[in-house]
Amino acid sequence: MEDGISIRIERTLGVQILHAEGDLSLSTAGQMKSALLELVNIGEPAVIDLAGITGIDLSGLQLLCSAHRTFRWRHTDFELRERSGQLQRAASDAGYAMRSSVCPYRRDQNCLWK
């Protein structure tokens, strides 16, 4: 899926799973933000499955960090699961790493980029 993103939310007992496929970039960040806001407003733990992400830019990485902070601030679990190789490379290339992060939410080994 070039220059687009497909987002599907699956709700099970006590957890929400967001599946995303395609490109998470400046042009698609609004769609992802809307889906993440929907999840955080429900107030149940969320799992974000990004195995299908084929591209991600800095705005996508920042959006994921912002969502993580928002969920933590609301005392709700937020977990990235099934990260694509593209996502892992982009995060590493952008300097997102728990060992060098200054994010206050990396305490207790709770960094997205561990």
Question: How would you write the pLDDT of the chain (114 residues) with one tens digit per residue?
Answer: 456 999 999 998 889 999 999 999 999 999 999 999 999 999 899 999 999 999 999 999 999 989 988 998 899 999 888 777 888 888 888 887 656 666 665 655 667 766
Question: DSSP letter string over 28-46?
Answer: THHHHHHHHHHHHHHTS-E
Residue 99 lies in a domain: yes
How many separate domains does the chain show?
1
CA torsion, ordered 69, 63, 48, 95, to nearest 10 deg: -90
Residue 114 lies in a domain: no
Residue 33 lies in a domain: yes
Backbone angles phi and psi of 22, in degrees to 5 = 110, -145
Could you give the count of Cα atoms lying within 13 Å of 84 in the half-sphere of its Cβ? 18
Q: Give the pLDDT confidence score for residue 1 in this predicted structure.
A: 45
Q: Provide the domain limits for residue 93.
A: 5-109
Residue 78 lies in a domain: yes
Q: Give the pLDDT confidence score for residue 106 in this predicted structure.
A: 60
Residue 89 lies in a domain: yes
Report which of 65, 1, 5 is spatially closest to residue 29, judged by C-alpha positions. Answer: 5
Q: What is the CATH number of the domain that holds 59?
A: 3.30.750.24
Residue 57 lies in a domain: yes
